[in-house]
Structure 1
């Protein structure tokens, strides 16, 4: 697992997805070397980098050109650039040009979660996996409801990570942003 500090980031493209969250997403995805992965809203590329080291192919998608640029730099530095295709577009339009895949990571939907999930469902291989890290409460509710309407049995895990900082009186725990991970497997 790569350390958060190894990633290039900017004020306009924050990230990466925290190391502990990346570890949980890798575990919950059950990624293997034959999998094709779409990373929608790739940002700095934290997930694209980690999945490029384990999967056959990764599509890194973001509508922000600076995010695509930073993601490329992080893949050159830390990942397997040869396994990644970059698509500078919103999730809906990008998915229209991808045939099938095994894992969908939906980290940035730009308020298009429902149409993205419709497309993901239509292109996800049998027993494919969907993982949605949610910062907003509304996103978890929307994700769970949409997945249920598509016939999935969504699960959710709430993750709160705190990091320790040694100070003169002891160790102070500093909370990182809590995140919910909604995940489901195609039947």
Structure 2
């Protein structure tokens, strides 16, 4: 399958290709799943999921980022039924999601409450700010859905004076939740 094409940039988000790969692994998407991307931004997670599942709902509150999501979706191939909604979560969230990705931290507690109330099975939240990561871990724990926390640091090589050096990206804190979580292992 070709790599995700993102010809349009939303100037936001820590969800680089390497982070997307781990995110999707943690979400363990299956073809019959209904996947929800909260804070779709560039649409990168939406596109990756649309190549794996039958139904995807992308929620984005920012009109410019919503337009970027739609343009990037149009630039890629996928088989899923994709719905893109202009809304600030938890409004606009479906009642029948199997898996959910939170790409933003705005209203995440209310989104987690919705996920718990509607029996979302798998949830991943990626965070770039340490303080928000701490609050997210506590919110997942308080709701009994915390499965784990992963810190990812990605560095890309580049040539520097005839040798290879690395340009490191901001670390990403990935908070992983499951409906039947037993806490951190």
Fold shared, TM-score > 0.5 on shorter chain = yes
Match for residue 105 of structure 1? 101
**Matched-pair contact (CA < 8 Å) for 1:38–1:101:** yes
Deviation, 1:80, is 2.4
Match for residue 129 of structure 2? 136
Quick one: structure 1 residues 66 and 79, their matched pair in 2 at CA, closer, same or farther if it must change by over 3 Å? Answer: farther
Match for residue 88 of structure 1? 86
Count of aligned pairs between the two proteins: 180
1:48-95 deviation digits (Å, cap 9, x = unpaired) = 000000011111100111111111111111142752101101011122
* Cα-Cα RMSD: 1.9
Quick one: structure 1 residues 156 and 100, their matched pair in 2 at CA, closer, same or farther if it must change by over 3 Å? Answer: same
The structure richer in helix per residue is 1
**Matched-pair contact (CA < 8 Å) for 1:7–1:16:** no
**2:167 aligned with 1:174:** yes
Separation of aligned partners in 1, 2:16 and 2:53: 20
Separation of aligned partners in 2, 1:152 and 1:59: 22
| Structure 1 ranges of 4+ moved more than 4 A | 1-4
Quick one: structure 1 residues 176 and 2, their matched pair in 2 at CA, closer, same or farther if it must change by over 3 Å? Answer: farther
**Matched-pair contact (CA < 8 Å) for 1:133–1:179:** yes
**2:158 aligned with 1:159:** no
Counterpart of 1:120 (choices 115, 123, 129) is 115
